[in-house]
Amino acid sequence: MNVIASPLPGVLVIEPRVHGDARGFFLETFNEGRYAEHGIHGPWVQDNLSKSAPGVLRGLHYQWPEPQGKLVSVVEGEVWDVAVDIRRGSPTFGQWYGTLLDAESHRQLWVPPGFAHGFVVTQGPAVFAYKCTAPYRAEYDAGVAWDDPDLAVDWPSRDVQVSDKDAKLPRLKDIAEDRLPVYGV
């Protein structure tokens, strides 16, 4: 596998080795030892799968005070995937990184605990897979507005469909400090 560091320390793009021929393909989507060599550690406690229509934007989500690390990939379709550093005290606080994930390339994105995460479907429908380091807990559910002008995420389109919940998420500057992860902790 090829691991590419993003400009945000800890956020990694993983390009798995794909073995293909006329019959189809095979790839390893996770191997604890190989991923640990690149700083991607569990424990892995929950896997999720979502399906979204073209133009659907989900995010920017995080959990606090029990943050989740997420290893994400696309099984069908294509998404623009984004990680935002929301860790208080981080030198890259408020910065984001985006990359294209699709079923053809099989690329994955590692979003460490302490980052908000979201995606928009650019070709779909898209089936999106999440491998998480902490279970989802509704009482810890939190998020940042996908269109926060201070973050200025360069989404491929602003003509998107968001849930009612996501449409009401606050700007990063309006989130109380004690509701954000802390850098280095």
Q: Would you name the residues annotated as active-site residues? A: 61, 130
SS (H, E, C) the chain: CEEEECCCCCCEEEECCEEEECCEEEECCCCHHHHHCCCCCCCCCEEEEEEECCCEEEEEEEECCCCCCEEEEEEEEEEEEEEEECCECCCCCCCEEEEEEECCCCCEEEECCCEEEEEEEEEEEEEEEEEECCCCCHHHEEECCCCCCCCCCCCCCCCCECCHHHHCCCCHHHCCHHHCCECCC
Nearest to 71 by CA among 125, 158, 3, 124: 3
User: 45, 132 in Cβ contact below 8 A?
Assistant: yes
Closest CA to 159 of 111, 115, 116, 122: 122
